[in-house]
Structure 1
Amino acid sequence: MGQGKASPCEAAAEGRLRAPGDPGGIPLLTDRERQTLYLVGTGAGNRLIARRLGISERTVRAHLSNAVRKIEVRSRSEAAVFAFAYLDLVDIPAPREPREPPRPRTAGGTRSPANSGRR
């Protein structure tokens, strides 16, 4: 075939295409905004992101909205492309360890086993 324009895939492979947005906005992101943006970059939807991060879908939308503004993109799609392109910079901070759930109370009241024989 002729020597026409290179396809977008070829241009990307040669490093001539840039992802949308401003990577200078990455340091402005909170940990949760970074986590949300990273997961958007993997193709996850709001429901899955909410479950994964233990937050509501409304909070996911808020984090994504803040991230979109900070990295200067116009849409979720552009945010996903940005996150994919800058995956090493967006990287998810290590999640906090979940708190241990409270132990269930026994039916016998609040007495400790050492004091259970006294009345």
Structure 2
Amino acid sequence: MLDTRLVQFFLALPTPLKISKGVRRRMIRLAMKDILPYEIRIRDNKTVPAIPTVTYRISKSRDEILSLIKEVEKHPDISRYFDLEKLTSTLQKGAHQQLQPRFIIKAISYFLWRKYTQEEQD
């Protein structure tokens, strides 16, 4: 469980302690100055998925995800928010590791929502 006192403390901090010159997580980076190597401490991207099991599940469900994309691609909202060609191509190549797992999960959630709300309207 998350300690609510810690959350309250963090939310009460002035913004310059949390972000400075576009650098996020400033406090954590400063706290880790003598602990983590410089290259790791300052990086602003994650090169490996934060949740390996999500990446595994995406790879195992790739055909189902591609089928879902086919089902919802004609809905007008979908193409407004997602580049379905890129998503489909990336999944077909098995290169989904290049995408953020969170993005794929959100896309799937949206696709499913659209699919079922569309079925209700028909």
Fold agreement, TM-score > 0.5: no
- TM-score under structure 1 normalisation? 0.27
| Structure of greater Rg | 1
Q: Higher helix fraction: Structure 1 or Structure 2?
A: 2
- TM-score under structure 2 normalisation? 0.26
